[in-house]
A and B are shown apart, each in its own frame.
Chain A
Amino acid sequence: MTATAANAAPRPAGHTAGHLDEAAETNQPVQFVAFKVNGDDFAVDIMAVREIKAWANVSSLPNMPSYVRGVLNLRGNIVPIFDLRCRFGRGATEATRLHVVIILIARGRTIGILVDAVSDILKAGSADLRALPEEDGEAGGFIAGLLALDRRMIAILDPDRLFDQSLVAIAAQAA
């Protein structure tokens, strides 16, 4: 792990946005895990990532939105898995062993996101961070910002907001 990550380590998990803000202020480079969903590039703050594992069958949960794929046994912890492609309204992922689950910390809980592949570890300074141009419909709610690197635009996922909004949607459906 680089010095950046080590410095940030003592901060409690689940404060990704704060971490980014801080990075913007101090101009310290921040590391991201980049991944692909349906051909698009996304990234998530490496501090929120706990591990990356290959897709394995999950146990489905009844009467949940289709983007809740089910729960996974992660060394005895019951971890919910969110299908990001489905969350973006592009239909459920036809998951194979080549698909990847990124285990994240969101709001202090352990969750997993199902993505197509992990593509890179990126290092970005505050100069590379861009605010969202405007609210971007479906995905805008849990995208914290954009990363402009190598003439690519990469959306930064905010795990906390992803988790919050999913719970709100589930509660609304149950009611």
Chain B
Amino acid sequence: MAFAPDIMDELRATFFDECSEYLLRNEELLGTLRDGARDGHHERDTLDAVFRIAHSIKAGAAAFGLTALADLTHRMEAALDRLRTGRLSLTPAMLALLLESGDALAEQVEAARNGTGADGDRARSIADRLAEAVKSAGSAHPTPLPTPLPTVLPATAMPASFPDFPAASGEAARRWAILFRPTAYSGGNEPLLIIRALGRLGRLVSTLDIARLPDIEMFDPSEPVLAWRIELETTHPESDIREVFEFVEDEADIQIAPLEAAFPDADDGSAEEAPPPLPAPATVFSAPALPAPPPATEGGSVIQAPATGLPAPAAPGGAGARAPAPAGKGSIRVDLDRVDRLVDMVGELVITEAVLTQLCRELDSRTQRRMIAALKGLSSHSRKLQDAVMAIRMQPVKSIFARMPRMVRDLAGRLGKTVDLRMTGEATEVDKTIIEELADPLTHMIRNAIDHGIERPEARLAAGKPECGVIHLSAENKGGRIVIRVEDDGRGIDRPRVLAKARALGLVAEDAEPSDDEIDALLFAPGFSTTETVTDVSGRGVGMDVVQRNIQSLGGRVTVQSEPGAGTRWTMTLPLTLAVLDGMLVRVGPELYVIPLANILESTRPKPGDVHEVVGHGTVVFLRGDWLPLVRMADVFGLSGAERDPARGIVVRVETDTAGVIGLVVDELLGQQQVVVKPIEQNFTHVPGVAATTILGNGQVCLILDLDACVAMERGRRARDGTAPPGIAPKPALPSAA
């Protein structure tokens, strides 16, 4: 097709985007199939939907010359077709093969998207196994391969001749009268392709009905007026004929009826010479011309689109034809960069508004009053605009949750456990960037729950629990943050074992008697693992500390609660977006900084008597019966003119990732505010101790502190100066409960 290269690129990109959606949906559908295999209903609908997915990807793949992808999907389609028509039964092995094909498909799509060569062996082996399955179905029921491989060709290049009649099978041929009247060409469907595909099913006579062709002055080229009356003699069942029309059923009137009465089976030879007495071509197709519709075995004579909620797939013949938008709510695909630019501009607007508010104070009182009223309106509008723009980036967590059932299934199977995964709150929305970062932590947590939490079936029965373990994955919005929980009803945290292990690893002093919460928090210690045997599932000890780090880098927290014998609950709380952050503005000497609110536990001004210089440990403050190590921000950043006495400044108790809880000494708290995060690396380079920047109401740039880095810098500084050994925390052995 004579598309400009950039249009082709665009179409390619759209195709790959669609593939991702299809693959996700595929996974979901196969999961439904597996679960639904028990109750058995709607299996056909689901298989139909999977079939259409394979078909849609195949059509696109063929159009873009991705032969490996097209081949694999073709095999899938063939197998799925046997399955949905009941010629192949949906065994667990078959389902596993389908799931595997889905994975191979994802691989191929990814490879094609990146332009890298995929490992074709896996795809080939799966394609072979699918072909094998199809063949086995074929031998059980002597039906020839019915699945037409739609050829991707522009209409003009179409050969006029029909392919030969397929090899006759043992079954008796039947005759069918078919009326095919397209009602729209906008989907890019080519009637010739349909007729050609029908021709592959058997012997066919097609007559063009031009009865609705208007006078030339009335002619509207976009209005379909033609219809085809087709008489088909075939050994294939009606479902195969309907399948040919599957992708045009929304865009055409289709009537299919048997011609048995007119042409009994015995009348075998004469049929070749004598075409059936179809109504005269030029007459309007009327009811008596066709025999009565067939008994309502599969609904009425007009095929209804199954209500799967999936967009109608691309037409078989339309290479670049896009699937029509899904019915119901309309949606558009937008490049993420464009949304980001919008988010940026709204951020600017919020800042400008703050600047205006600031300037307003300098006005004389009469003008000021009117300005303030106007600014209030602006403020309310810009806040709403910000919410609306942020909402564009919000996505339901479903896209991540949907990957989990599969993993649970695989993992539970491998470990010989039975696990039921229940999910709630899939519709909870969170910023796209957070969604992307959620997948790994969530996978880790669920793996942990299956591997460490849920017991083997025997053990569960012995403990008086149902054989099947339950993992509950939930998401909810709470106070401007998203809370995600992974709850299992397993054995709970084995605290004596955790403690013993921690002592062996030197994480806890021999004589220390940590509380239950403190023991639970040890699970987040780097390198901690209680599993004796390292499996490929979990037990490398890189699990929970990595999870915690990932979550904290997103401004979130992870906590764990557990009850021995009853189960464990992991809770993640995350900000809804990374583009804005709730922070506390503080002053240190002449400089202003923002401390992320997520890190702050409390702030206090200690009594002079509670502040002590401990030789070798820097300054500590006695707070709530415990010694809190202090870090002076002025020291970290080498600032002069800042308050050095904690009793005259403010101690902000913050929780850090790597150094536990510390007290940050600043001069003054200036207030809490939501800030727009601006990376400093965009035009400069990483600055140690600085997480990002933001712009204050007066237009001034303000740094957002990276507390972990600040503590590390302070330790490094003291080590260099010889004022303290590295490791200022008096209790490095025991991270406090997260």
Contact = CB atoms under 8 A, between A and B. Distances in A.
Which 4 pairs from chain A and chain B are nearest by CB? A62-B637, A80-B684, A59-B701, A76-B348
B683 A59 contact: no
B270 interface: no
Given A76-B348, A76-B678, A59 B684 contact: no
Contact of A71 (B347, B638, B680, B689): B680
B701 A77 contact: no
Nearest to A58: B701
B727 to A, nearest CB: 21
B702 A59 contact: yes
Interface residues of B, number: 28
Contacts of B678: 76-78
A174 B713 CA distance: 10
Interface in A31-57: 57
B404 interface: no
B367 interface: no
Interface of B: 344, 347-348, 351, 591, 636-639, 678-680, 682-685, 687-690, 693, 695, 699-703, 713
Contact of B690 (A62, A76, A110, A167): A62
A62 B638 contact: yes
B591 A77 contact: no
Contact of A59 (B351, B636, B638, B703): B703
Given A60-B591, A110-B683, A73 B637 contact: no
A109 B684 contact: yes
Contacts of A73: 695, 699-701
A171 B687 CA distance: 10
Contacts of A76: 344, 347-348, 351, 678, 695
Contacts of A167: 685
A78 B689 CA distance: 17
A167 B344 CA distance: 27
B683 A111 contact: yes
A41 B112 CA distance: 55
A38 to B, nearest CB: 24
A78 B591 contact: no
Contacts of A61: 687, 690, 703
A64 B701 contact: no
B687 A79 contact: no
8 contacts: A61-B703, A62-B637, A62-B638, A63-B689, A64-B687, A76-B344, A78-B679, A167-B685
A72 interface: yes
A98 interface: no
Contacts of B639: 62
Nearest to B344: A76
A78 B683 contact: yes
B683 A63 contact: no
Contact of B638 (A58, A63, A170, A171): A63
Given A76-B678, A109-B683, A71 B688 contact: no
A61 B684 CA distance: 11
B687 A72 contact: no
A77 B684 CA distance: 11
Contacts of B685: 167, 170-171
A115 to B, nearest CB: 18
Nearest to A77: B683
A67 to B, nearest CB: 13
Given A63-B637, A75-B348, A76-B347, 12 more contacts: A57-B700, A60-B591, A63-B687, A64-B687, A71-B680, A78-B678, A78-B682, A78-B684, A78-B701, A109-B684, A111-B683, A170-B685
B679 to A, nearest CB: 8
Contacts of B347: 76
Contacts of B695: 73, 76
Nearest to B693: A78
Contacts of B637: 62-63
A57 B713 CA distance: 27
A110 to B, nearest CB: 5
A167 to B, nearest CB: 5
Contacts of A72: 701
A71 B348 CA distance: 17
Contacts of A109: 682-684
Contacts of B700: 57, 59, 73
Given A71-B701, A73-B695, A63 B684 contact: no
B683 to A, nearest CB: 4
Contacts of B684: 71, 78, 80, 109, 111
Contacts of A62: 636-639, 687-690, 703
A109 B639 CA distance: 28
Nearest to A166: B685
A70 B700 CA distance: 11
A75 B352 CA distance: 9
A109 B683 CA distance: 5
Contacts of B699: 73
A47 B579 CA distance: 33
A64 B685 CA distance: 11
Contacts of A80: 683-684
B351 to A, nearest CB: 7
Given A59-B702, A72-B701, A79 B638 contact: no
